[in-house]
Every structure is written in structure tokens, then in C-alpha cells.
């Protein structure tokens, strides 16, 4: 999975980020969501984001880094993510803000989608660096943990689970609605559910027996009780008798 980047800047600020992220092919259920916000000081020892519980893996889905620029600020920026002190991801760049700017200092903000998988017991830490001494940054992160135990059956008598394929919703990001498409290769009990970033179930789109075939469901960004949900990251999960798949959707109001 390749990281994406988003920069929100005033017209007086210039920034450029080069992003390199560890690849991931994880397909695990977002059953236990985790998130947090840290206030980080440049040049400080890496701060702990999360310690992965024994017997589980942690999938870091999103990082959002931000700072407030002062008039005349100019500095390279380095962002580093570690698992047990081994670098797993980095971002490099620079920004410059004019010495004579607006009265309100601009917010410089970058959002990265990673999908990096950390193994049981790993300590996940983050470090930011700048030539600006003791500058304060905010770091918002989100992800989920899931069981690291997988079973494999081999031999002629091994059961073959019904195959399914779920596509990325489109459009994504979306407002006010998005289409979720999936395919079943065999008849099965199926559930298509939507969770918010804290892991709370907000909408059940499908629940019941379905035949083999292709399906498309439109989600209008509302909860089961008809409330319009807020902007943010949501996870939709397709569960069948033999397995489940999940994807991420971003709603922007």
C-alpha cells in the first residue's frame, strides 16, 4: 500500500513532502479500533504511540501531522516511525513561511495513509525533527488490532471457503453518498456493516442470505437511526460464513 499525502497550507507557505512507506498486504478485520493524539516536540526522544498486545497485530491506518508556522519560519522536516527501534516509515520535506504574513499564523497539516502492520509485542514510536528548536507538533493516529493467529488446512479433505471479493468504495472520499460493490462466488449468509474510527458499529447495510453474484450498495453517510454522520474515516466490513474483508472510506462533509 502506497502512502498518500495531503497538505493544507496558506498562500504564504510552501511545503513539499517525499513519502516512503513500508508495504502491507494485511487483510484483517477492524474489530478493535485504536486512536490517539500526541503533542510532540522536535528533537525529543521518540514518543510511544502504541505497544502491540501479545497474540495480536496492529495495523496503523492513518497519521496526521500538523504544526503552526510562525512568520519567517523555514526548515526541513523529518518524520520517522519505528517498530522496536527499527525504522518502518519516513517522510522528508521542507516548508517556508514568509516573514510578513497574515495576522493569524497558518496551520500546516499533512495526512498520511499507511497500512503498516506491526507484530505482537512491538513498541510503535514516532519522532519528528526540524531545525527549529523545541517546536511543538500534533500527531493524530488511528489503526486497529486483530488476532495474529491464522489456521491453514491442507490435504484433499480441506474445506474450500466461499470466495468473495470486495472493491474499494467509489467515490472515495465521498459526499454525500458512495457505492460499495462486492462479489460472492457461492450462496452464503452475508453482512455488510460500517464502523466509525473508534470501532463503533454505525450502520448495517446488508444482513441475510445472498446468492452468488455481484452486488452494489449505496451508503448515504447516515447511521442506522437515520442520523447524518460526521466527516471522518469509516471502515466497512463484509462478513460471510467463511471469512470477511474490510476497506476504508473517508467522508468529507
**Taking a C-beta distance cutoff of 8 angstroms, is the pair 80, 46 a contact?**
yes
pLDDT at 226: 93
Buried b (16+ CB within 10 A) or exposed e, 31-50: eebbbeeeebebeeebeebb
Whole-angstrom distance, CA of residue 112 vs CA of residue 233: 12
Residue 68 has pLDDT above 80, yes or no: no
Number of neighbouring beta carbons within 10 Å of residue 127: 18
* Average confidence (pLDDT) over 128-153: 69
d(CA 203, CA 205): 6
Dihedrals phi, psi of 244, to nearest 5 degrees: -155, 155
pLDDT-based confidence at residue 104 (cuts at 50, 70, 90): low
Q: What is the pLDDT of residue 166?
A: 81
pLDDT of residue 98: 66
CATH of 164-251, one of 2.60.40.4070, 3.30.56.10, 3.30.420.40, 3.40.50.1220: 2.60.40.4070
Per-residue pLDDT band for 44 (boundaries 50, 70, 90) equals low
What's this model's pTM, rounded to 2 decimal places?
0.51
pLDDT tens by residue, 71-102: 777 777 778 888 888 888 887 776 666 666 55
Amino acid at each position: 500500500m502506497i502512502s498518500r499525502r495531503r497538505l493544507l497550507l496558506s498562500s504564504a507557505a510552501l511545503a513539499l513532502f517525499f513519502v516512503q512507506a513500508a508495504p502491507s498486504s494485511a487483510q484483517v478485520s477492524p474489530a478493535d479500533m485504536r486512536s490517539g493524539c500526541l503533542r510532540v516536540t522536535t528533537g525529543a526522544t521518540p514518543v510511544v504511540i502504541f505497544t502491540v498486545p501479545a497474540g495480536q497485530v496492529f495495523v496503523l491506518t492513518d497519521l496526521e501531522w500538523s504544526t503552526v508556522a510562525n512568520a519567517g519560519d523555514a526548515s526541513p522536516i523529518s518524520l520517522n516511525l519505528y517498530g522496536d527501534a527499527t525504522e518502518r516509515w519516513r517522510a522528508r520535506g521542507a516548508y517556508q513561511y514568509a516573514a510578513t504574513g497574515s495576522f493569524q499564523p497558518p496551520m500546516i497539516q499533512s495526512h498520511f495513509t499507511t497500512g503498516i502492520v506491526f507484530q505482537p509485542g512491538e513498541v510503535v514510536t514516532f519522532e519528528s525533527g526540524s531545525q527549529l528548536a523545541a517546536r511543538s507538533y500534533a500527531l493524530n493516529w488511528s489503526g486497529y488490532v486483530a488476532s495474529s493467529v491464522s489456521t491453514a488446512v491442507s490435504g484433499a479433505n480441506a474445506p474450500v471457503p466461499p470466495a468473495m471479493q470486495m472493491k474499494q468504495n467509489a467515490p472515495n472520499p465521498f459526499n454525500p453518498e458512495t457505492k460499495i460493490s462486492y462479489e460472492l462466488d457461492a450462496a452464503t449468509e452475508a453482512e455488510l456493516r460500517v464502523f466509525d474510527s473508534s470501532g463503533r458499529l454505525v450502520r448495517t447495510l446488508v444482513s441475510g442470505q445472498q446468492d452468488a453474484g455481484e452486488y452494489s450498495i449505496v451508503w448515504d453517510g447516515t447511521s442506522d437511526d437515520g442520523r447524518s454522520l460526521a466527516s471522518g474515516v469509516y471502515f466497512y466490513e463484509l462478513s460471510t460464513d467463511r471469512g470477511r474483508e474490510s476497506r476504508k472510506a473517508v467522508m468529507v462533509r
